[in-house]
Amino acid sequence: MKFPFQNVALIGKHKAPEIDEPLLRLAAFLSSRGLTVVVDSLTAEHLKDSPYKTMSLAEIGRAADLAIVLGGDGTMLNIARTLSPCHIPLVGVNQGRLGFLTDLTLDNMQDSIAAMLDGKFVTERRLLISARVLRNDVEVFRGSAFNEVVVHRNNISSMIEFEVRVDGEYLYNQRADGLIVATPTGSTAYAMSAGGPILHPSLDVLELVPVCPHTLSNRPIVVKSSSVLEILMHRTGDIRVRFDSHTSYDLQMHDKIIVTRHPEAACLLHPVGHSYYHTLREKLLWNQTL
């Protein structure tokens, strides 16, 4: 991470015209601080009379010292997957619903970012995962995820059947609607809805959460992040593997999905005083009295 920051990229939620005004306001503020500002090319398509240079995400990965994302968690997930290999720190401004990853607000973003530019920030590294699909021992698809890799049925009424191994050791055979392999970041997303535990993002672990398992004894399990997870499909129909609800691939009988920790991590910057527990209380409404 380069500091002090000199080249800042602004990335907005795709096809969300409501971010135009705050994005341009933030760009003007950054320019007034003497920073070079570039705007993601897809974001720039919706900006009117923008004087700022545009770049693709690939170009931003080579040129920027800092990326500020205006959008929801979905936007941040996509940007984190793309820019993490480039070691660019990310700041999130919430323009979505929950905002577990985008902790600044439109009201406080200017003051918070000003403090960050002065070096007043907390750095947090979050792990990502990768998955490969093998068909007859030949790789046919590869993807990465910030939240989760999910094997699930699509439009069929019957359960799917699969086998799971951890570091080569047989764990179980499962009949269920699907299986979620989640990072600590993803533990507050689909995995939480399926009954999985909330994991602090500093933990170096992954969780496997079955979706509507046929046997009540099949429970979520947490394993070390260095584990090699193998999911072997025994019964398929309209089944696919999905990465952060962003990309997917259709599976066939005997396909094997191998999930491992991604070699790179996402770097998030937070204001001084940031608390994950405060985020949980606020987003999950734990601070409401009964």
**pLDDT per residue rounded down to tens, the chain (290 residues):** 888 999 999 999 887 888 889 999 999 999 999 999 999 999 998 888 789 999 999 999 999 999 999 998 889 999 999 999 999 999 999 986 767 888 899 889 999 999 999 999 999 999 999 999 999 999 999 999 999 999 998 876 778 999 999 999 999 999 999 999 999 999 999 999 999 999 999 999 999 999 999 888 889 999 999 999 999 999 767 899 999 988 999 999 999 999 999 999 999 999 999 999 999 998 888 877 65
Angle at alpha carbon of residue 213, lines to 207 and 216, rounded to 5°: 100
Number of other CB atoms surrounding residue 55 within 10 Å: 19
Report the alpha-carbon distance of residue 77 to residue 72 in Å, rounded: 9
Domains of the chain: 7-119 (3.40.50.10330), 128-263 (2.60.200.30)
How confident is the model at residue 290, as a pLDDT? 58
Establish whether the linkage from the previous residue to 4 is cis, with ω within 30° of 0: yes
How confident is the model at residue 111, as a pLDDT? 95
Query: Residue 144 burial by CB count (10 A; 0-12/13-18/19+): exposed, middle or buried?
Result: buried
On the CB side of 138, CA atoms within 13 Å amount to 2
How confident is the model at residue 231, as a pLDDT? 98
- Residue 199: partners with Cβ closer than 8 Å, 6 or more residues away: 182, 184, 187, 205, 207, 222
- Residue 83: partners with Cβ closer than 8 Å, 6 or more residues away: 57, 60, 61, 67, 90
How confident is the model at residue 175, as a pLDDT? 92
Q: What is the DSSP letter of 104?
A: B
Q: Which residues form the catalytic set?
A: 73
Report the alpha-carbon distance of residue 35 to residue 6 in Å, rounded: 5
Q: Is the pTM of this model over 0.85?
A: yes
How confident is the model at residue 72, as a pLDDT? 87
Number of other CB atoms surrounding residue 94 within 10 Å: 22
- Residue 214: partners with Cβ closer than 8 Å, 6 or more residues away: 159, 175, 176
